[in-house]
Amino acid sequence: MSKISKTKESEWYKQASILSKALPFMQYYNMKNITIKLGGAAMGDKGLSTSFAKDIVLLKQVGINPLIVHGGGPRIKEMLEKLKVKTTKIDGLRITDNHSIPIIEMVLSGSINKEIVMEINKEGGRAIGLSGKDALLVKTSKLKNIKQKSLENKDLGFVGKPEKINKDFLEWCIDSNFIPIISPIGYGENFETYNVNADTMAGHIAPEIKSERLILLSDIRGVIDKKGNLLTHISIKEAEKLIRNGTITEGMIPKVETCIHAVKKGVKAAVILDGKLPHALLLEIFTEHGVGTLITK
């Protein structure tokens, strides 16, 4: 047996092992929407990209409706450095000016988005690539200045926050059996382009389409306490306390705030987990305890 066929066989057995115990969960999630944020750091491995695409197609085949919002931080950083455009981040948000916004849009909507679309289509899915500009999907307002530890106000430039989601269009996509793949680019009041944090966009879309669950796939296991232990289940109140006392810092802040927002707006639960774990999606949805940090009311 060839090396390639052994790999495919191993993947099949992993999926089959998970699904053999998954019937109650399949019944629970049948015909329900799930919003998934695919982090840039979790997209670097080609094998994982293929595995993720297979899992998305499988979810659709068993009657679950996945919608994907993707990031692209590492690829954006690489392209900006290649073109010698300097940028910095504050609390996980990239300061975006006139020079960097077209590059960011090119990488997110023009490159990464279509790669994910084709990977899923190659596995038998019906993925459709979108940005917040398509069908006026995500109307965005400028994110107001935020404060660093230095207490100095910092203007983030063309960084936006979703204000209005064209949920009718997304519902049409889902009802038509398409799998929407959305890049986190929005449009403003005057149709200017905004860079939106992918976690934030996913967190605003999830309640609009009445998602049963919001899943944030990143390169981290979940929320870690000060002793280095994974917190498997926390409430909104506990999450807010962890932000205030400095346990949750930097790039984890927008992730956790996204989960809090989504759950407050009606999503049953939000999860942060390691997207580098093979079949992380299936393990989270189809097993009793999941594999990351679950945030609920």
Domain ranges in the chain are 32-228+245-264+271-281
Average pLDDT, the chain: 87
Strand boundaries in 2-142, DSSP class E = 33-38, 65-70, 89-90, 93-94, 127-131, 138-142
d(CA 279, CA 202): 20
What pLDDT score does 150 carry? 44
Structure token pair of residue 167: 């949920």
Structure token pair of residue 110: 């023009």
- The fold of 32-228+245-264+271-281 is Carbamate kinase (3.40.1160)
**CA-based nearest residue to 205, from 267, 254, 253:** 267
What pLDDT score does 205 carry? 98
| Rounded mean pLDDT, 180-192 | 97
- For 190, other C-beta atoms within 10 Å of its C-beta total 5
Q: Give tens-digit pLDDT for 34-88.
A: 999 998 666 666 667 888 999 999 999 999 999 999 999 889 989 999 999 987 7
d(CA 248, CA 251): 9
d(CA 110, CA 134): 13
Q: Give tens-digit pLDDT for 133-149.
A: 999 999 999 988 665 45
User: Which CB contacts under 8 angstroms, 24+ apart, belong to 113-121?
Assistant: 113/70, 113/181, 113/182, 113/183, 115/49, 116/38, 116/43, 116/49, 116/53, 116/68, 116/70, 116/181, 117/181, 119/49, 119/50, 119/52, 119/53, 120/53, 120/56, 120/57, 120/179, 120/181
222 Rama class: left (phi>0) / alpha (psi -120 to 50) / beta: left
Question: Which residue in the block uniquely carries the two structure tokens 């793949």?
Answer: 181
Lowest-pLDDT range, 14-23, 189-198, 239-248? 14-23
> Which pTM value belongs to this model?
0.87
d(CA 202, CA 196): 10
Q: Give tens-digit pLDDT for 155-172.
A: 888 999 999 999 999 999
What pLDDT score does 143 carry? 87
What pLDDT score does 151 carry? 41
CB 152 within 8 A of CB 144: no
**CA-based nearest residue to 276, from 6, 74, 124:** 74
Structure token pair of residue 140: 């965005």
